[in-house]
Amino acid sequence: MSRTTADLGFAQLKNPLMPASGCFGWGREFSQLFDLKTLGAVVTKAVTPEPRAGNPGPRVAETPAGMLNAIGLQNSGLTGALTEELPWLQKQEVPILVNVAGRTEDDYVKVAEALAHHDILGLELNLSCPNVKEGGITFGTDANNVYRLVSRVREVCPLPLVVKLTPNITDITEPALAAEAGGASALTLINTLRGMAIDIRTRRPLLGNVTGGLSGPAIKPVALCLVWQAVKAVSIPIIGCGGIARVEDVLEFLLAGASAVQVGSAAFTDPLLLPRLAAELEKWLEQENTSVRELVGAAHPQGGNHD
Ligand SMILES: Cc1cc2nc3c(=O)[nH]c(=O)nc-3n(C[C@H](O)[C@H](O)[C@H](O)COP(=O)(O)O)c2cc1C
Average pLDDT value for residue range 209-229: 97
The pLDDT-based confidence of 307 (bands split at 50, 70, 90) is very low
Closest residue by CA, ligand 1 atom 15? 191
Q: How confident is the model at residue 137 (pLDDT cuts 50, 70, 90)?
A: confident
Q: Determine whether the shortest distance from the Cβ of 70 to ligand 1 is under 6 A.
A: no
Active site residue 225: no
Ligand 1 site, residue 175, Cβ cutoff 6 A: no
In this prediction, residue 150 carries a pLDDT of: 98
Instruction: Please name which of 224, 161, 217, 168 lies closest in space to residue 192, comparing C-alpha atoms.
Output: 168
Nearest atom, ligand 1, residue 265 CA:
27
Q: Which atom of ligand 1 is nearest to the CA of 241?
A: 23
Residue 27 and residue 120: Cα distance in Å, rounded?
A: 15
User: What residues contact 102, with CB distance under 8 A and at least 6 apart?
Assistant: 48, 49, 108, 110, 111, 129
**Residue span of the structural domain in which 166 resides:** 6-295
Buried b (16+ CB within 10 A) or exposed e, 50-62: eebeebeebbebe
| 307 found inside a domain | no
Can you tell me the mean pLDDT for 33-40? Answer: 98
> Is the Cβ atom of 73 under 6 angstroms away from ligand 1?
yes
pTM (2 decimals)? Answer: 0.97
Asked if the structure places residue 303 within a domain, the reply is no
Per-residue pLDDT of 289-306, as tens digits, reads 999 999 999 999 976 544
Distance CA 212, CA 241 (A): 17
Pairwise CA distance, residues 18 & 124, whole Å: 13
| 166 within ligand 1 shell (Cβ under 6 A) | no
Across the chain, mean pLDDT equals 96
Going from the Cα of 289 to the center of ligand 1, the distance in angstroms, rounded, reads 33
Among the listed residues 129, 157, 225, 241, the single catalytic one is 129
Number of the ligand 1 atom closest to the C-alpha atom of 66: 25
Cβ neighbours for 9, distance < 8 A, ≥ 6 positions apart: 185, 186, 236, 237, 259
Please identify, by atom number, the ligand 1 atom nearest to the C-alpha of residue 219.
25
3-state secondary structure the chain: CCCCCEECCCCEECCCEEECCCCCCCCHHHHCCCCHHHCCCEECCCECCCCECCCCCCCEEEECCEEEECCCCCECHHHHHHHHHHHHHHCCCCCEEEEECCCCHHHHHHHHHHHCCCCCCEEEEECCCEEHHHCCEEHHHCHHHHHHHHHHHHHHCCCCEEEECCCCCCCCHHHHHHHHHHCCCEEEECCCEEEECEECCCCEECCCCCEEEEECHHHHHHHHHHHHHHHHHCCCCEEEECCCCCHHHHHHHHHHCCCEEEECCHHHHCCCHHHHHHHHHHHHHHHCCCCHHHHCCCCCCCCCCCC
> In this model, does residue 132 exceed pLDDT 90?
no
Opening angle at CA 123, ends 121 and 129, nearest 5: 160
Cα 151 from Cα 148, distance rounded (Å): 5
Long-range contacts of 48-51, Cβ-Cβ distance < 8 Å, separation of 24 or more: 48/73, 48/75, 48/77, 48/78, 48/100, 48/101, 48/102, 48/103, 48/107, 48/111, 49/77, 49/78, 49/102, 49/107, 49/110, 49/111, 50/77, 50/78, 51/75, 51/76, 51/77, 51/79, 51/80
In a domain, 196, yes or no: yes
CATH number at residue 266: 3.20.20.70
Distance 50 CA to ligand 1 centre (A): 20
Q: Report CA(247)–ligand 1 centroid distance (Å).
A: 19
Predicted confidence band at 101 (pLDDT cuts at 50, 70, 90)? very high
pLDDT in tens, 242-292: 999 999 999 999 999 999 999 999 999 999 999 999 999 999 999 999 999
For ligand 1, is residue 219 a contact (CB within 6 Å)? yes
Ligand 1 centre to CA of 119 (Å) is 24
Number of structural domains the chain divides into: 1
Which of 121, 98, 100, 89 has its CA nearest to residue 14?
121
Q: Is the CB of 71 under 6 A from ligand 1?
A: yes
Residue closest by Cα to atom 6 of ligand 1: 22
